Structure 1
Amino acid sequence: MLPEKVQLLERIACILDCFNAESRQMGVRQVARKINLSVSTTGRLMQAMREMGLLVQDPTTSLYGIGPRVLSWADAYLASLDVRTLALPHLQTLHRETMETVSLYILDGDARICVERLESPHSLRLVAPLGQRLPLYAGSAGKVLLAFLPRAEQEALLEQTDLQPLTPYTITDRRALLQELELIRAQGYAISHGEWIAEANGVSVPIFDRTHAIHAAITVSGPAQRLTDEKIAAHLPQLLAAAREISLEMGWRPNPLFPSLATAGGAHEHAR
C-alpha cells in the first residue's frame, strides 16, 4: 500500500499521462476509465488540478486539457536539453563495447560538425576533427543527417552542393546519391566505405528530437581492415539501441504510423 501522498502524486501523474497529441481534450469519464478510478474521485482530482493550473477546462464542452503550469515545466525541460550531454553516457558505452572511435555529429547549415569524439584505444584509429565543418554527402554521418531531412530541405541542400570527390569512393553522381539516401531512410542507418577518408569505414544512425526531426547522428568509425562489414553488422544493434535511448531523452516518441528505432536493420521514421 502506497503512502497517501505518494498515491495522490501517482494519480495526478496518471491523469496527466492521459493527455497527448492525439488526445488533447478529454472528459472526466474518459480519464476515469483510462486510469481505472471512480468518476467521482477522478472528477475531484481534475477539478483541483484545474485550480492549480495543471489542467484547463473548456467552458462550452467541459472537456479538460493540459494547463499552462505544465507547459511552463515542459519549456524548462526542453531548454535544458543538450544532445551532447544526453548522448555522452551512451557514447561511452559504445566506445567500451566497440573499441573503435565513436563520434557525435550535428547539422550546421549545409555541413556537419563533430561535437563529441571518443577515440579508439587502438594505435591505428580514425580521428574525427572536433568543430570542423565537414560535407554532408560524404561519410556515413553526413549521409544519415542528409537522408532524414525534410525532402524540400534535402533537395535545396543538394542543389547548392558541388559533389566533389574526396576519395575515389565518394559518391559524386546526384542520382546515385539520391538512391543511397532512399536506402538509408528505408533501412535506418548509413554505411561508408572510404567515402570521406580512404581506407576508413563508418556506420551511423540518426537521433530524432521531440518533433521527429533529425537532430544528430552517432558514428562508429575505424580503419577498413579492422572495421569490416561483419564488424559493422555486429555493432549496428548497439548503435540503434543507443540512438533510440538518446532520442527518447530528447523527447522523441515512437509514432504508430511509422516503424520505430527499436530494431536493427528496420526502417526508421522519416521527418516529412
Structure 2
Amino acid sequence: MNKGIRGSLGQTPISEMRDNGAKSFYKMARVLDCFTRSRKHLSISDIMSLTGLPRTTIHRIVASLREIEMIDQDNRRGDYRLGLKMFYYGSAVIANLDLNRHAHPHVLQLHQITGELVHLHMFDGSQMVCIEREEMGAERNTTLTTIEAAPIHTTSVGKAFLAFQEEDLINRIIDEEGLEKRTENTLSTIAELKADLTCILSRGYARDDEENEIGIRCVGAPIHDSRGRVFASISVSGPAERLPESRQDALAPAVIETANRITEALRA
C-alpha cells in the first residue's frame, strides 16, 4: 500500500522532503531580506529581532549562507553583511535582461527627437540606478554613457516606477530610504508623494519639477517586463527654462511611446 511513497527503511516521504526544503528556502530569504542599504551590517540578535526566528535557526542559516558566500562575516566587528556572490547574481540578472541592447536604439532615437538628455533606469531593490545616459558631448557630436544612482522619490524615473508598484513595496522603500528633501520642491511627506503617485498612475507619466536639483526638470515613463511588471523607466530632462509644464506635457507622448517600444522589444 502506497502512503506518501515512504520506503521500506522508513525514509521521509518525498512530499515532506519537498515541503521542508521550501520552508528552509523561505527562512533563508527572510534572513537575506534583513539586509538593506540602511542596514548594511547585522548581528545575530539583529536578525533574530527582524525575522522572529530562533537563535539556533539563525545560526544554522547564517552558517549555510556563509558557506556559499552569500553572506560574509566582518572579522573585526563580528557581525554580517551581504557577500560578493550576491553582486554576481545581481549582475547576472541585469545581463540576462539584456535591457541595454534592446533599449539602446530607442533611447538614442528619443534623444535625437527631443534634443534633450535621456536617462534609462532600473530598480535595484532600493533605488533607481542609471544604466544608460544619452547626451551630446560639449565639444564632439557623440553620446556619453554613465552609471549613477537617483533617489527614488525625487526624480521622474523613480516616481514613474513607484506609481505602478504594490502598496507594500512603496511603504517599504519609504521606510528604508526615507524622504530626503533635496530641494524646496521635493515631495518630502508620505501624503504629498502618494497624491503625486496617484496622478502619475492616471496620466501614465511622471514629472520632476526641480525636485532633485534646482534648475532641472524631467518627464519619465514606466517600462514593463515580460510579465507586465514595471521594473525600469526612461526620462527626458533639461534646464527648467526649456522644460516648462506645457513642454513637459508635449514631450510626454514621445517618452511614453519610447517606454512602450522598449517593453515590446523585451517581450519579443
Q: Which amino acid aligns with 1:140?
A: S
Which residue is 1:237 aligned to?
A: 253
Question: CA contact under 8 A between 1:99 and 1:121: conserved in structure 2?
Answer: no
TM-score, normalising length: structure 1: 0.59
What is the CA-CA distance between 1:122 and the residue it aligns to? 7.3
Alignment of 1:241-252 (within 5 A): 241-251=257-267
Distance 2:205 2:160 in 1: 7
**2:125 aligned residue (109, 116, 119):** 109
Q: Deviations over 1:92-149 (max 9, x none)?
A: 11111100001101111211111000114679xxxx9933322101011111111112
Which residue is 2:150 aligned to?
A: 134
Q: Which amino acid aligns with 2:223?
A: I
Which residue is 1:227 aligned to?
A: 243
* C-alpha RMSD of matched pairs (Å): 2.3
Question: CA contact under 8 A between 2:131 and 2:148: conserved in structure 1?
Answer: no
Corresponding position: 1:208 with 2:217: no
**More helix as a share of residues:** 2
Percent pairwise identity:
31
Q: Where does the alignment leave 5 or more consecutive residues of structure 2 unmatched?
A: 1-94
Give the secondary structure class of the aligned counterpart of 1:116.
strand
Which residue is 1:187 aligned to?
A: 203
Give the secondary structure class of the aligned counterpart of 1:160.
helix
What is the CA-CA distance between 1:159 and the residue it aligns to? 2.1
Question: CA contact under 8 A between 2:100 and 2:131: conserved in structure 1?
Answer: yes
Corresponding position: 1:198 with 2:209: no
Which residue is 2:134 aligned to?
A: 118
Question: CA contact under 8 A between 1:110 and 1:135: conserved in structure 2?
Answer: no
Q: Where does the alignment leave 5 or more consecutive residues of structure 1 unmatched?
A: 1-78, 253-272
Q: Which amino acid aligns with 1:243?
A: A
Distance 1:94 1:249 in 2: 15
Corresponding position: 1:97 with 2:117: no
Question: CA contact under 8 A between 1:107 and 1:216: conserved in structure 2?
Answer: yes
Distance 1:249 1:177 in 2: 31
Distance 1:178 1:103 in 2: 23
TM-score, normalising length: structure 2: 0.59
Give the paired residue count: 171
Q: Which amino acid aligns with 2:105?
A: P
**1:161 aligned residue (165, 173, 177):** 177
